[in-house]
Structure 1
Amino acid sequence: MEKYFEILLKSYKGYWNYLKHELININHWDNYFYGLIIISLLVWALELLFPWRKNQKAFRKDFWLDTFYMFFNFFLLNLIVLIALSNTVAELFNDFIGLFGLSVGSLQLLDMNVLPKFWGLLLFFIVSDFVQWNTHRLLHRVPMLWDFHKVHHSVKEMGFAAHLRYHWMEPVVYKSLLYIPIAVIGGFNAQDVAIVHFFNITIGHLNHANLGWDYGILKYIFNNPKMHIWHHAKKLPEHVRYGVNFGLTLSIWDYLFKTSHVPENGRDIELGFEGDEHFPQDFLGQELYPLNRKD
């Protein structure tokens, strides 16, 4: 038990030092803090230049709430929960499989370093996106997980920052389910992950932005604003009552597994979920909602 406590302390100290380094040093291209700010400003500028819903204000409903969520979830949440939890879970998993004479290294089926850089990154991107697509479906199908996911679906007007409005438990679920498949593929380094991460953040921001784009023929590969708005639709046909368009970055999984749904131009559809008029409107209320549910 003492070993896991030490891991927690080292994780907090290490991430705090990393966060301070990110804030002070702006001269490296894979700086997550300023990278998020640059991507957000660029996508927001696109919203203002090419608005799909022209009557939507620049500072739309819940703009500042979503902006707070964006920085809280991207940075403070990592400091408070995710880094320490991830490191501790990883050690617990290693100890567990060690009981059977196994190690993470023995589970590794492929080392990315044996592949050319491009193909290694592409494999990492595709595997992680597919796992997250499946995880996203679980968030809609399992009632307990849906209670957490409602925070994201409480968005009533779409904008880039809505991308990172989510309950703190969501990344715990995503990272937990992603750990084992990614452990099978080794050889990643920080810059590899940064390239994929920045690309995913950009696509995610665009998906939630006030933009009427579908990328033409590329819509069958990449998720897009015209497709993703239907994922947030309040009313859906009964046969897709658990949701549609689960893709995070790639849309191809929805087309392959028949969960795609873009019946018409969704520019002005109502967003949310049944009963969202009773859902908390503030950050703390939304974070505590799954614990306070009475039904």
Structure 2
Amino acid sequence: MNKYLDIINNSYSNYWNYLKNSVFMELNWENYFYGLIIISLVVWGLEIIFPWRKNQSIFRKDFWLDAFYMFFNFFLLNLIVLIALSNSAAQLFNDFLGLVGLSISNFQLLEINKLPFALRVFIFFIVIDFVQWWTHRLLHKFEFLWNFHKVHHSVKEMGFAAHLRYHWMEPVVYNSLKYIPLAIIGGFTAQDIAFVHFFNITIGHLNHANINWDYGWLKYILNNPKMHIWHHSKELPEERKFGVNFGITLSIWDYIFKTKYIPHSGRDIELGFEGDENFPESFLQQELYPLTHKK
């Protein structure tokens, strides 16, 4: 028990020190705090220069709510619970394997750290994107998970900051399902993770941005604003009722598994979900919604 208390205590102190060092610019390439700010400002600038919905305000509906979600989900949530929970769960899993005479190293298939940087990053990127694509489908398929995911789909006007409007339970689900495959092919460095992290944040911001882009032929590989807006469509055909265009960074999975859906320009479609007129509008009420919602 003391071991887990130490893990929790160290998780809080280590992440607090990391966050403090980030804010005071005592970190270099691994400074996610200012990395997020820079990416956000650049994509917001692109929204202003290349708007798809020209009548949409620069400070669109719920702009400030989504800005708060960005920093809460990426930093405060980690400090409050996520890092301590993740580290404790990883140790618990390793201890469970130890009871049957195994360790996570028994399952490692590749010595990733011996591969060239580019190949190592590519493997890491593909694995987490594919796992996240399947996880995203689960969030739409099962009502229990969908009630958490409704927070993200409560967006009524798309903009870059809508990317990080999500309930705090979502990263718990995503990280839980990513842990085992990443542990099996472990050995990635902090720089590998940072490189993929910043790339994914950039594409995710662009996917939600009010930008008139689809990247030409790259749309068959990368998710994009003209594709992702249909994922947020309030009205879908009955055979697509569990969602479409689940890609996080890559669109290729939707083409492969036939969940791609772009019937026409989605510039002016209504966003949301059935019954969203009764969905709470404040941060705290949205966070409590899955616990207080009744069928």
The TM-score bracket by the shorter chain reads over 0.9
Q: Which residue of 2 aligns with 1:36?
A: 36
Q: Which residue of 2 aligns with 1:6?
A: 6
1:277 alignment partner AA: E
Following superposition, the deviation at residue 26 of structure 1 comes to: 5.2
Is 1:195 aligned with 2:195?
A: yes
Matches within 5 A, 1:86-101: 86-101=86-101
Following superposition, the deviation at residue 275 of structure 1 comes to: 0.2
Following superposition, the deviation at residue 42 of structure 1 comes to: 0.1
CA distance in 1, matches of 2:101, 2:82: 28
Following superposition, the deviation at residue 29 of structure 1 comes to: 2.5
Following superposition, the deviation at residue 114 of structure 1 comes to: 2.2
> Unmatched 5+ residue regions in structure 1?
none
CA distance in 2, matches of 1:168, 1:205: 18
SS in structure 2 of the partner of residue 94 of structure 1: helix
Q: Which residue of 2 aligns with 1:240?
A: 240
Work out whether residues 26 and 34 of structure 1, in 8 Å CA contact, stay in contact via their aligned partners in 2. no
Is 1:169 aligned with 2:169?
A: yes
Work out whether residues 136 and 246 of structure 1, in 8 Å CA contact, stay in contact via their aligned partners in 2. yes
Following superposition, the deviation at residue 35 of structure 1 comes to: 0.3
CA distance in 2, matches of 1:41, 1:73: 18
Following superposition, the deviation at residue 27 of structure 1 comes to: 5.7
Deviation string, structure 1 residues 39-98 (Cα, Å, up to 9, x no partner): 000000000000000000000000000000000001000101110000000000001111
Q: Which residue of 2 aligns with 1:138?
A: 138
Deviation string, structure 1 residues 133-181 (Cα, Å, up to 9, x no partner): 0000000011110000000000000000000000000000000000000
2:85 alignment partner AA: L
1:252 alignment partner AA: I
Work out whether residues 214 and 226 of structure 1, in 8 Å CA contact, stay in contact via their aligned partners in 2. yes
Distance 1:30 1:10, change over 3 A: closer
1:62 alignment partner AA: D
TM-score for the superposition, normalised by structure 1? 0.99
2:16 alignment partner AA: W
2:72 alignment partner AA: F
CA distance in 2, matches of 1:5, 1:186: 25
Work out whether residues 21 and 27 of structure 2, in 8 Å CA contact, stay in contact via their aligned partners in 1. no
Q: Which residue of 2 aligns with 1:286?
A: 286
CA distance in 2, matches of 1:71, 1:260: 31
SS in structure 2 of the partner of residue 267 of structure 1: coil
Deviation string, structure 1 residues 228-247 (Cα, Å, up to 9, x no partner): 00000000000010000000
SS in structure 1 of the partner of residue 166 of structure 2: coil
1:218 alignment partner AA: L
1:245 alignment partner AA: N
Matches within 5 A, 1:252-263: 252-263=252-263
SS in structure 2 of the partner of residue 186 of structure 1: coil
When the two structures are aligned, how many residues end up with a matched partner? 295
CA distance in 2, matches of 1:81, 1:178: 18
> Unmatched 5+ residue regions in structure 2?
none
Q: Which residue of 1 aligns with 2:22?
A: 22
Matches within 5 A, 1:41-190: 41-190=41-190
Q: Which residue of 1 aligns with 2:215?
A: 215
CA distance in 2, matches of 1:105, 1:115: 17
2:222 alignment partner AA: F
Work out whether residues 208 and 229 of structure 1, in 8 Å CA contact, stay in contact via their aligned partners in 2. yes
Work out whether residues 231 and 243 of structure 1, in 8 Å CA contact, stay in contact via their aligned partners in 2. yes
CA distance in 2, matches of 1:206, 1:262: 17
Deviation string, structure 1 residues 14-44 (Cα, Å, up to 9, x no partner): 1001110111125613310000000000000
Q: Among the aligned pairs, what percent are the same residue?
A: 73
Following superposition, the deviation at residue 186 of structure 1 comes to: 1.7
